[in-house]
Structures are given as C-alpha cells and as structure tokens.
Amino acid sequence: MVARAVWPLTAASAAPPPCQGGACEEGGDWTYENGFLLADARQRALADAGEAFVVETAGTRHWAVERGWWDGEGPFDWKRSVGEGAGGRAHAKLDVRGRERAGADHLAAAAGRVSDGSLPAGDVAGWLGWMAGVLRDEESGICFRSTHGFMSTGSQISLARGGGHTASHFFTAASDPLVACYKRWTFGDPAAAAAGDGGSLALWRRWRSIDLAGRSVPEAMRRALLEIEAEAVSAAERGGASEFSGSVARELELISSFAV
C-alpha cells in the first residue's frame, strides 16, 4: 500500500500550482518544498528529494548519476546513493544541529525509556503523549509558532499498530500545537468522509485570527482542550470510528465560549 501511494503524490508534486494549505494557500505569497513520510503497519517510505522518491521514480537513477552519487553500475541503493552519496558527498558538509539534533535527542531519550521499561511498545497513551511533547518543543524550533517568523500549516501524529487495530491519525487543524489540541481521524469511516474537511479550515482560520490579534488563551480553556485530546487518545486505545469533526466543533465552541 505504501508503494502504491507514491504515484499519486509524485503526480501531485509535479502539477502546478501546488496546494499546500495553511498560510501558503491563505496568503499566497510564499511556498516551500514539501516532503512526505508514507507508512502503514508494515512499510515505511521517506519522500522526497525534489521530485525523487525513495520508492522508484522515473529519472531517479539519472538524477543520482548526474550528481556523482551513483556510478550507474550494479543495483541502485537509494540510501547509499542519496543518503551517503559517492564517498559521502551528498551530505558530507551537513552537521546535525537545530531541530534535527533536537529530534535525534528526543528519539534517543525514547529509546532509553523503551530499554528501561518505562515506555512499553504497547503503551498507546504513552507514545502519543511523547510524540505530542516532541511536536510541542518550542525551544528547539520543532514547534514552529508565528513568534518565530514562520509557522507550520498544522501538526500531525499517526498511530499504525497493525494486528487488526484501527490506524489513528491526530491533527491539530491549527498552526500551533501549543494551543490547539490533537483530534483523531480514521480512514474508511463513511461518516467522516461525508463531513468533508470536518470544519478544519474554519478552525484553522479562527486560530490564525486569534494569533494575529495577539490574544492569549486562558488556562481553563487550555485544560478543556487537553480533555478533548485525552478523549481522542482513549478512543485510539479502544479503536472505532473517527471523532474528528465532533472534536473540531467542540474546539470551535470553546473558542467562542471563552470569547478568545
């Protein structure tokens, strides 16, 4: 399934103009190079480098030969050619720093917790809480808030466990995960599909207007938002249908009730 998903993404990335959502779509004065991580319970593929994907894309071999990262002989190994390059030239001058370094540190800390048993593989709430904490790490720059002069379109966490468990995807539908909560979405739910965007665009615009106006979020409202997030995590543990549009509606109601 992961390999099959690459082809429509390849076509979409090559078709102008790109629709990236968030500030790119709303403002229209800037764009950026998109990357994708495709994964299910059995396969994972990182994409892309320009128009080249880890899963074979037309022209990738020629692209690697042109840059001197592959000699054109023998089996083509993406990781060796693009990740290491011929003699390590592809990224020899790149230091692990900033957000990348912080991400590596978070992963190392999680590995330590797995080893000591404090974060078991099957602890759904624990892993989701850990990932949310990583994405809310503002000090490292992983969390892009508008105060940094650049903002993320949104924030996402995906849980693909396999073994018959329903895959769960969590979206903020807002630029700042420090204020918005994660809301659960599941694919294959007819009701969720019929709801369209589930109110996510209206929520994104509402949070953006709050940010532009410089208004703060009351602590009581933050607690209420985290309750919605906790319910989404609990639903992921149980499985079942998506609660995304309902959670979005509750978040919009909270914004109105607190007159933010």
Q: What is the 8-class DSSP label of residue 67?
A: T
pLDDT digit string, tens, across residues 81-95: 766 555 455 555 556
In a domain, 107, yes or no: yes
**Residues 14/20, Cβ–Cβ less than 8 Å:** no
Number of compact structural domains in the chain: 1
In a domain, 185, yes or no: yes
* pTM for this model (two decimals): 0.78
Residue 151 has, within 13 A of its CA and on its CB side, a CA count of: 22
pLDDT digit string, tens, across residues 194-207: 878 889 999 999 99
Concatenated DSSP letters of 219-248: HHHHHHHHHHHHHHHHHHHH--S--HHHHH
In a domain, 156, yes or no: yes
In a domain, 83, yes or no: no
- Per DSSP, helices labelled H in the chain are 2-14, 22-27, 60-66, 78, 98-116, 124-135, 190-194, 200-213, 219-238, 244-257
Maximum Cα–Cα distance across the chain: 65
In a domain, 77, yes or no: no
Containing domain of residue 214, as a range?
A: 98-258
In a domain, 200, yes or no: yes
pLDDT digit string, tens, across residues 28-50: 666 666 677 778 888 777 665 55
User: Phi/psi of residue 37, each to 5°?
Assistant: -120, 115
